[in-house]
Amino acid sequence: MEQQKLKELMDSLTLQEKIGQLVQLSGDFFGEGDLSTGPQAKLGIESWVSQHAGSVLNVLGADKVTDIQKRHMEHSRIPLLFMADIVYGYKTVYPIPLAMACSWNPEMVKQCMRNTAKEAAPDGAHVTFAPMVDVVRDARWGRCLESPGEDPWLNSVFAKAMVEGFQGSEEVCEESDRMISCVKHFAGYGAVEAGREYNTVDMSAWRLTQEYLPPYKAAVDAGCDMVMTSFNTIEGIPATANQWLMEEVLRREWGFNGVIITDYAAIQELIAHGVAADDKEAALLAMNATVDIDMKTPCYANQLQPLLEEGRLSIKKIDDAVWRVLTLKNKLGLFEDPFKGIDKTLAADRKSSPEFLRQTRKMAEQSLVLLKNEKEVLPLNPEQKVALIGPYADNQDMMGLWAVYGDKSQVVTLKTAMTEYLGEKSRNLKAAPGCRIMDNVSQLGDFGGMILAGNAMDGTEEENLAQAIDLAKWADVVVFAMGEHTLQSGESGSRTELEIPDSQKRFIDALLPYTKKSVTLLFNGRPLVLTDLMKKTDAILECWFPGSEGARAIVDVLYGQVNPSGRLTMSFPYTVGQIPVYYSSFRTGRPADTSNHSGRFVSRYIDCPNQPLFSFGYGLSYHQAEYGEIFLDKEVLTPGGSIRARIEISNTTAIAGTETVQLYLHDVSASVVRPVKELKAFQRLELAPGETKTAEFEIHEEMLKFYDQKLTCKAEPGEFELFIGRNSADCKKVKFQYVQK
Ligand code: GLC
């Protein structure tokens, strides 16, 4: 619709029509018949709100969306927007974002999100509440699952890739197979105190700006049309009511003119936070923070008109919000065609396309991280007798918590995938559950019936152990298939202990005396504490929740069809007591490695190293690589100039493989403290057996910039250390100077 026409429509709207646009309701508000009881009464809104609502939460399906939209358009001039949590896949589910990020392959991640939009748009999805790009350095928080990890710069790289994947662009896709992306959770949600869900966040504006805001800005700069407010406070004010964050930073400084939506019920939760006395105060605070859509509370619906009539809210605030919502709908072409993009032929009970399944399998292959491989126990040989034992041995729960639309029926289990791969040699495979995922699932709280999934097991613990012992005695190798219950991570999955569940630890200890060699496969949504497991098992492969084709990808790696290349994007602690632990820490005045204070009086623990068990960027492969020395084409960088850094990487084995060469910088002295390392670039180098390649990087002033105490983004002259290596803890180092005149 032409702007002028849209303006005329806007000017013709009644107040109820306007307010309705700022309300998002769940699907039960759009059923047939009289809704004045049920959901409307429960939420405390009048029927006009449903009639004029602007958007629907988490309802998809070509028929369902068509029916709701058709009924809605019978009494409304403005089509509904359909928004949903399509975070890492729709029917075809990809590995969780924390896993995908371990591929260090943003182009492939972008393609996966492109495929997701192609699958979901025909089912009526206009907006996805993704990407989630919260920087997270606390593995106690269950939502590590949804994030690319701990590094601001790498999260920014993936934020851009995912937004471009979801939203597509004229060059790469049809209008119809795009989804508007809604970056979340703005802002800083990954820094919840003690890793506890929905908890307080408090840090300086300096640290927030330097380390937590960049990924959201990367999403906005990539054209993301929506932003979701986070549940947490920022400097004492909940994000949903935080004018500095929403109006000053997001809209004024970053130039974001899109739609801001709250997280679920976040406006009314301002009362629980203690910054609003009632719904009316809450509505006013959110409006003043330029929040446009109220997700699932009655605050905007019931309080905007009274606030207007009391003169406490201007119609302009409401009009500005309504205009942003109408503009978004117009961008999607919904006024011309409220059913745009819906394709019933594609939808229905469609199975994933072979192309999408191939893609998620490749994505999973590159997301797996080999953490240990002693005695060359991996890759396995089909002639070996393998006992596949554990609650994930024959379990379809491989998609993780936020795969609400995933087609679980098409997920093959590890046992099936291994049998399929071994063919007539599958006589060399025997499988058993061994033990339950957990002793007690009641603490998890249910989520759509998931609680019992994957924890069912026939027979007693003793009977299953006895069966497993027989298998272990028979086998050359025991492959343990262990990990978290799906509900132990994801939203509301905060934990204070991070080892594998007791039932599994007990079982592994009981079986190890009967095993010759052992491999542990881990299915989990966050870094775990593997310190104990590292002492007990010969190999560990981090599988995360690997998605629809995860089992096949794991088998590809287990039997050497694929050489694992995943590298961690979040540190794995020795113990929960180390948390938060991350590579880009500050030196402190008493760095443990260089301080001239005596041994005791430096920054350290008495009972644990400072470094994590596995560092950011860490991962093993079946090949070995040697890193040469770093060469710089000059040792002084000037404004507008650049330095070229190069290093030779040699594959010293007969196995082709991929090295993720990582480049970090350290600003040795500046007007504020600077991290000991910051990731600034990386290259994925594919090396043939025995091949040597040169990785080249260009260093320029932009990479040196940081926010000073006044939040000015600048580079300062002085000495810099440049690191290149296979992970953040294993690098070569050189120095250069940056001079400004
Ligand atoms: C949830 C999550 C958010 C999600 C929203 C809508 O509570 O915090 O990530 O997009 O509600 O389901």
Model pTM score: 0.97
CA-proximal residue: ligand 1, atom 6 (nearest):
264
| CA-nearest residue, atom 11 of ligand 1 | 264
CA angle 281, 287, 290 (to 5 degrees): 150
Does ligand 1 come within 6 angstroms of the Cβ of 134?
no
Query: Which two three-digit tokens encode residue 228?
Result: 């979701």
The Cα 678–Cα 676 span in angstroms is: 7
Q: Which atom of ligand 1 has the smallest separation from the CA of 129?
A: 10
- Catalytic residue, chosen from 263, 294, 407, 556, is 263
Sign, Cα dihedral of 66, 72, 77, 78: negative
Cβ neighbours around 735 below 10 Å, total: 12
Strands 713-714 and 730-738: unpaired
Q: How far apart are CA 114 and CA 166, in angstroms?
A: 5
| Residue range 161-207, pLDDT digits in tens | 999 999 987 555 556 678 999 999 999 999 999 999 999 999 999 99
Which two structure tokens, joined as six digits, stand for 683? 């290259």
Query: Are 59 and 84 within 8 A, CB to CB?
Result: yes
Atom of ligand 1 nearest to the CA of 295: 6
- Each residue of 230-279: pLDDT tens digit? 999 999 999 999 999 999 999 999 999 999 999 999 999 999 999 999 99
Distance 263 CA to ligand 1 centre (A): 6
Longest dimension (CA), the chain: 80
Ligand 1 pocket test target in 226, 227, 491 with most atoms within 8 Å of CB: 491
Catalytic site includes residue 263: yes
Cβ–ligand 1 distance for 296 under 6 Å, the answer no
Query: What confidence score (pLDDT) does residue 347 get?
Result: 58
Q: Can you list the residues of the chain whose pLDDT is less than 70?
A: 36, 170-176, 347-350, 449-454
The verdict on the CB of residue 151 being under 6 Å from ligand 1 is no
Cis peptide preceding 185, ω within 30 of 0: yes
| Closest protein CA for atom 7 of ligand 1 | 264
Sequence-ordered list of residues with C-beta below 8 angstroms from that of 712, at least 6 positions apart, any chain: none
pLDDT value at residue 730: 98
Residue type, 310: E
φ and ψ of 544, to 5 deg: 55, -155
Sheet holding 517-523, edge to edge: 369-373, 539-542, 517-523, 477-483, 386-389, 429-432
Q: Is 580 left (phi over 0), alpha (psi -120 to 50) or beta?
A: beta
Q: Distance between CA 496 and CA 527 in Å, rounded?
A: 13
Please tell me if the CB atom of residue 143 comes closer than 6 angstroms to any atom of ligand 1: no
Amino acid in position 455: N
Cα-to-centroid distance, 45 and ligand 1 (Å): 22
CA of 641 to the centre of ligand 1 (A): 45
Ligand 1 contact, 447 CB (< 6 A)? no
State residue 709's pLDDT score: 96
Ligand 1 contact via 198 beta carbon (within 6 Å): no
Which ligand 1 atom sits closest to the C-alpha of 182? 10
Strands (E), 405-471: 429-432
